Chains A and B, each alone.
Chain A
Amino acid sequence: MPTINEKITEEIRAKAKKLLESKEIAAFLGFCQGSLPMTTRPFVARSPEEADKLIWNSFCVLNPTNYLPELLKSLEPPRGPRNPAPEGPLPKAAVLATGCWSRNIAIQIKENQLDRDRVIIVGIASRGMVDQRKIRARFPNQEIMNVAEQDHKLLVSGQNFKKEINRWDMVRGNCLTCLHPDPVMLDVRIGAAGQERKNDTPFQQVDEIENKSTDERWQWFQDEFASCIRCYACRNACPLCYCDTCFVDDSKPQWVGKSIDPVDTRLFHILRAYHCAGRCTDCGACESVCPMDINMRILTKKLSKDVLALYGSEAGLDPEAPLPLSTYKTDDPQDFILSESGAAKEGV
């Protein structure tokens, strides 16, 4: 009996082949197998033959939307910066999209980073991606050589051990609290539709930190980011971070020191999170790619909580809705504006 993921893999390959053969698309953006257990690689299939390399499993932790604008650009015929775009439709690409990834596509379209007409969204209801760090933590000092997947179990094996563990116990934190596993927009569906999930405490991790005293919170923040090496993997894996020049890379003026001085590191993480406010879909790519295991996602999750409370909005959930922080409404909450007496102003 093939597993759910194996069936999805087969469907993805068949669909990709068909789209590539018919020349409806020039590229299919998904994942291929990595060279280590529990890894996948973002992968672009450009021919029907390459479509056979596409896979789907519980370790597709990168967000393919991150590659989409650049991929589409690379498909355009080469031209000078001043030359006009060629006549006729530009080549299209297909991309895999789960709930959060599809919301990122919606946001990129809203932010004029993506041309909807050039994207074929291949929707998959996410069953939650697995955190390889959780698995490694379960087997300390043992070298994991293989992880075989069943629908609800993971079979972890190494040189002298073999153990079956519950898949859901190993799922990433962001996926555990995800309420919208099904794509919010799609052109083609692979696999069964997903169910909206219920969760009474979707912001539990944030709540725990909010409930700490100021000093404890500060300590938590310092400790959590102490090991950051400023590699920017979190930023570069994020489909929201597409500025030509990031504020940390600016030299005229230079906003942030470039070394690993704790002040600079903290500033980077705070500002990065704020740039994602109202836009972050909690896809978890930042956390998954961090080589130092920093849980920077808690910062963006906190901002998601605030944006939901203030504006009743979840990023990209309604592809038609304007983004809360780039839209002005007269009844927007504005208690951050202080009056002369120092107290927050009441209403308008």
Chain B
Amino acid sequence: MKVYTFKQAALDEWVKSWLSTHKVYRAAAKKGETCGAHAGWTEMTDFSLPPTGPAKSSVKTFYFPQPETMATYSAKKEDPDGLLMENQDTPAEKQVVFGVRPCDGRSVELNNLPYVDDPFYQANRERTILVGFSCAEQKATCFCTKTGGSPYGTEGLDIALSLVGDAFLVEIITDKGAELVGNGADLTEASESEIAELARLRQGVEENPGHDEILKAKEMTALHEAPFWDKVAESCLNCGACTFLCPTCYCFDIQDEVVRGQGKRIRYWDSCMFPLYTLHTTGHNPRGKKVQRVRNRFMHKLKYFPDRFGPLSCVGCGRCIQECPVNIDIREVLTDLLVVE
């Protein structure tokens, strides 16, 4: 792994050099500044430092776009091959997402565990380069270290930038990341002392408390039947804000849409908070009560997912805490679960 050092002006030049070969995105700074397909993100033309903490919208939109066309077909009656599904080629255009926080980078790896055989997710991974930024400062809602992450983490990132002194240290983590290095720019390798300082910052991070292992060791039924769920659910509005803003919520619905004889089978984000999500055709709903739906979301993230894949399905970005209309706080739920016997 190469580590380079940049002063801000040089970094600006480097970022600009990507624009000729890649579509480059950054988090939108204000409402309305959005690029259509990826709500909360906008196309970048100049270097700018990302704001503290994670962007309002997570990077999952680049891997799991909303909506994603899974198949196309002609829905014209006279068409002899009508109604036959064809594969939708995923776009091949290369894209860079700039200013990604380590929590979001990690979410791409976590989602990759279930999505390892999903053709669309994998194709999008292939064409997307994540340029991350370490977090020198945290927000009141940040808790990545409690979930196994780190403000200096590099999981899922292709390039990681960290501010060390007055220079940006640039770590090239993957081959995809190295593609951008070839794009001109005057690269100066970082000095040993700079690299040592970065390592010091990285080591200074709170140790992983291993909450995944603690929860895996607990009985599913005990966690599921814990008495605190009613209190958590009481104020819940059952909206989808948490699930849609969450970088590791990956549930979807599939629908057919026909417009002027052209049919598409699309998938789009769905939410386990919605009653419709589980409703049977008969009218029976296995999770018909609010408390069942709220519990399912947290149990999936903190128990079912770790039992199946290892880590928690939560990167501690704190978006759900910040934006929950009724201030349901996953940190409190985690704390409650950790003490269940």
* A touches B (Cβ under 8 A): yes
Residues of A within 8 A of B (CB): 34-37, 39-44, 62, 66-67, 141, 143-145, 223-224, 226-233, 235-237, 249, 251, 257-261, 288-289, 291-294
| Majority DSSP secondary structure for residues of A touching B | loop
Q: How large is the interface on B (under 10, 10 to 19, 20 to 34, 35 or more residues)?
A: 35 or more
Interface check B85, CB cutoff 8 A: no
In the complex formed, the residue of A with least CB distance to B323 is A291
Contact check, A260 vs B327: say whether CB atoms are below 8 A apart.
Answer: no
Q: Does B51 contact A (CB under 8 A)?
A: yes
B75 within 8 A of A: no
Q: Pick from B140, B325, B328: contact of A37, CB below 8 A.
A: B140
Contacts of A288 in B (CB 8 A): 325
Looking at B156-164, B215-223, B238-246, the stretch in contact with chain A turns out to be B238-246
Q: Contacts of A292 on B, CB cut-off 8 Å? A: 31, 39-40, 56
Interface residues of B in 301-339 (CB under 8 A from A): 321-323, 325-329, 331-332
Smallest beta-carbon distance B36→chain A, Å: 8
A61 to chain B, nearest CB (A): 9
Please measure, in the bound complex, the distance between the C-alpha atom of A258 and the C-alpha atom of B271, giving whole angstroms. Answer: 12
On chain A, the residues within 8 Å of B40 by CB distance are 227, 292
Cross-chain contact B52 with A232 (CB below 8 angstroms)? no
Question: Would B332 and A35 count as touching, CB distance under 8 A?
Answer: yes
Does B32 contact A223, Cβ atoms closer than 8 Å? yes
Tell me which residues across on chain A come within 8 A of B326, comparing CB atoms.
41-42, 62, 289
**Contact residues, B11-46 vs A (CB, 8 A):** 31-32, 34, 36, 39-40
Asked whether any CB of chain A lies closer than 8 Å to the CB of B122, the reply is no
List B residues 70-104 near A (Cβ within 8 Å).
none
A260-B325 CB under 8 A given contacts A227-B34, A229-B244: no
Candidates A43, A260, A289; contact of B268 at CB < 8 Å: A260
Query: Cβ of B139: which chain A residues have Cβ within 8 Å of it?
Result: 143
Taking the nearest CB of chain A, how far is it from the CB of B42, in angstroms? 11
Q: Are A293 and B244 in contact (CB under 8 A)?
A: no
12 intermolecular pairs with C-beta atoms under 8 Å apart = A43-B234, A67-B235, A141-B52, A144-B140, A226-B34, A229-B39, A231-B243, A257-B255, A257-B257, A259-B66, A289-B237, A291-B56
Contact B244 A36, beta carbon cutoff 8 Å: no
Chain A residues, Cβ within 8 Å of B234 = 42-44
| B67:A260 contact, CB within 8 angstroms | yes
Bound CA span A145–B139, Å: 9
Chain A residues in 8 Å Cβ range of B67: 259-261
> Closest Cβ of chain A: how far from B209's Cβ, in Å?
19
Task: A35-B327, A228-B39, A292-B56 are known; give 8 further A-B pairs, CB within 8 A.
Answer: A34-B327, A34-B329, A143-B140, A226-B32, A229-B240, A230-B240, A258-B253, A259-B268
B34, B51, B53, B235: the one contacting A41 at CB < 8 Å is: B235
Which residues of B lie under 8 Å from residue A44 when comparing CB positions?
234
A141 touches B235 (CB 8 A): no
The CA of A64 and the CA of B241, in the complex, are separated in Å by 19
Shortest CB distance A228–B (Å): 8
Q: Which of A35, A231, A259 contacts B239 (CB 8 A)?
A: A231
Chain A min CB distance to B237 (Å): 4
* Chain A residues closer than 8 Å to B253, beta-carbon distance: 258
B266 at the interface (CB under 8 A from A): yes
Q: Select from chain B the residue with minimum beta-carbon distance to A260.
A: B66
Whether A236 and B237, one on each chain, are in contact in the complex, defined by CB atoms closer than 8 angstroms, is yes
Query: Can you name the residue of chain A whose Cβ is closest to the Cβ of B28?
Result: A227
Q: Give 7 nearest A-B pairs by CB, closest first.
A: A289-B325, A233-B239, A34-B327, A291-B323, A231-B240, A259-B268, A236-B237
Chain B residue contacts of A237, Cβ below 8 A: 237, 239, 325
Cβ-neighbour of A62 out of B51, B321, B325 (below 8 A): B325
A294 to B39, CA, bound (A): 13
Q: Counting chain B CB atoms within 10 Å of each CB, which of A40, A258, A291 scores highest?
A: A291
Chain A residues lying within 8 Å of B322, measured Cβ to Cβ, are: 36
Q: How far is the CB of A217 from chain B (nearest CB, A)?
A: 15
* Interchain nearest-CB distance for A257 vs B (Å): 6
Q: Give complex CA distance A235, B255 in Å.
A: 23
**Which chain B positions have C-beta within 8 A of A224?**
32
Which residues from chain B contact A259 at a C-beta distance below 8 Å?
66-67, 255, 266, 268
- Known contacts A42-B235, A236-B238, A249-B276; A258/B268 CB under 8 A: yes
Q: Are the C-beta atoms of B239 and A43 separated by less than 8 Å?
A: no
Q: Is B274 an interface position by the 8 A CB rule?
A: yes
Q: In this complex, what residue of B is CB-closest to A71?
A: B234
Within 8 A of A (CB), among B233-287: 234-235, 237-241, 243-245, 253, 255, 257, 266, 268-269, 271, 274-276
What residue of chain B has the Cβ atom nearest to residue A142's Cβ? B52
